[in-house]
Amino acid sequence: MPPHEGLAHLKEYNIKDSNVELIGTEIDHKVKYKSAETEPAWNDGNVGQHAGLYIWRIEDFEVIPWSKEKYGQFYDGDSYIVLYSYKVGKKDGQERLQHEIFFWLGSKTSQDEAGTAAYKTVELDEFLRGVATQHREIQQQPSDEFMQLFPRLKILSGGVQSGFRHVETEGQPEEKSMLLRIFKHPGTGSTVVHEVEPTWQSLDDDDVFVLDKGDKIWVWQGKKCSPMEKAKGAQVVNDLTLAKHIDVEVISQIEARSRVVVDLLGGKGVEQTEFQAARPVASSESQPTGQRSQRLFCLSDATGQLTFRLVKGGQPVQSADFDTNDVFLFDTGRSIWVWRGIRASRSETATWMKVAQSYLRQLQAELGEDAALIPLATVVEGSESPAFLKTISV
């Protein structure tokens, strides 16, 4: 049996230990494009030709289209590629397509899946002629740009290579309770539906929880939850009851009978009346690592030797600060952008990802391990995304 087959050989990908080193940077562009020409996922007649949202999941080293009915739903044991193509105007009045590629890494995805997603993202960019904005997305701290694609994001436990309950095989019985946490993402206002451990320690006063026991569904509304979260909780319950007709009971935390949910989650005898648990998905704005001053660095070999130097620190960054002959790393304080000039040298364009990796490790040393979760993206001169342009002064 090949080493990538079977659960015994799966190595979980640790984003905090190995940030972005899986992205290939030494393969020649022509070789990548040739490979992209033979990838069925990109050659469906729509990718690169029409505006829209496209999602693929990595399955056994292959790029498999994700069902449109499941757009917005991800499994924490998987890796995905998301392409968002949209029309922008040109000076001559014509329209052209602009592309943003996100490779999303679940918190429990395997090393093989993460590496395949990263490599195939580069390949897809080559297929799109190298002008797409590329985003690395981490489940625990997605970028605002990613969240804006999904008004409702649902993250479940399990995955294609997983032995968890959610592995998608017909006829498998559910062996445990499912607890879903529903909350508003602080960065974009999108609703997040996230499966959490079915234990009373997962409860939080600020949010809504849906407990599916198989024969009955309980909705526990935290005493500080918002009306929107209550409404989204009702939608989640509606989705769950479409496939099975079972009893549903809605309980507010302020009611004495709300203790029944705590008991069902293993909290019998617990006298606690207030609950607090860290949200499984955070915004970069709400993290300590997001409280940094702006810094702009230049990667250049203009002197004959490759150097990486600070250009600006603590001052607003302007478009005039970028040079078409070089590569720049821009730390906005909330996210990291790599800007590649169209006349940058081969050594500069081949090294930018290693430099970004090194910079993230430096931030980890300064700010702690969670710095590895900082959103990272790269843009090409002339095809900058709207999100990048908002970060700089004209």
pLDDT at 284 over 90: no
pLDDT given at position 169: 43
Mean pLDDT of 282-299: 75
- Provide the whole-model pTM: 0.85
Q: What is the mean pLDDT of the segment spanning 253-270? A: 94
Q: Which residue has the tokens 């009978």?
A: 257
134 plus 70 within the same structural domain? yes
What DSSP string runs through 104-169?
EE-TT-BHHHHHHHHHHHHHHHHHTTT--EEEEEETTS--HHHHTT-SEEEEES--TT--STTS--
Instruction: Indicate if 190 and 265 belong to the same structural domain.
Output: yes
279 and 310 both lie in a single domain: no
Residue 244 confidence (pLDDT) above 90:
no
Whether residue 271 is found in the same domain as residue 192: yes
- SS3 of the chain: helix, strand, coil, percent, to 5: 25, 30, 45
How many distinct structural domains can be found in the chain?
Answer: 3
What is the reported pLDDT for 271?
85
| pLDDT for the residue numbered 163 | 43
Residues 116 and 243 in one domain: no
**Whether 309 and 263 share a structural domain:** no
Q: What is the pLDDT of residue 350?
A: 84
- Cα separation, 163 vs 12, whole angstroms: 14
Same domain flag for 143 and 67: yes
Mean pLDDT of 18-28: 43
* Structural domain contains residue 56: yes
The CA R_g of the chain, rounded to the nearest whole Å, is 23
Look at residue 163 and tell me if it is in a domain: no
Give pairs for 151-154: CB < 8 Å, separation 24+: 151/72, 151/190, 151/191, 152/72, 152/190, 152/191, 152/192, 152/193, 152/232, 152/235, 153/72, 153/74, 153/185, 153/190, 153/191, 153/192, 153/193, 153/281, 154/72, 154/73, 154/74, 154/192, 154/193, 154/194
Domain end call among 257, 283, 309: 283
Domain of residue 183 covers 176-283
My answer on whether 297 and 220 are in the same domain is: no
DSSP state of 66: P
**Do 225 and 297 share a domain, yes or no?**
no
Domain boundary among 85, 116, 150: 150
User: What pLDDT does residue 369 have?
Assistant: 85
169 assigned to some structural domain: no
Query: At residue 313, does pLDDT exceed 60?
Result: yes
Q: Considering the chain, what is the average pLDDT of its residues? A: 87
Same domain, 393 and 251: no
Say what the pLDDT of residue 21 is. 46
Is 161 part of a structural domain of the chain?
no
Does residue 289 have a pLDDT over 90?
A: no
The 10s digit of each residue's pLDDT in 164-193 is 444 444 444 444 789 999 999 887 888 999
- Domain of 114: which CATH number? 3.40.20.10
298 shares its domain with 279: no
Q: What is the pLDDT of residues 187-217, one digit of tens each?
A: 788 899 999 999 999 999 999 999 999 999 9
Task: Give the pLDDT confidence score for residue 23 in this predicted structure.
Answer: 43
* 156 domain residue, yes or no: no
**Mean pLDDT in residue range 292-309:** 93
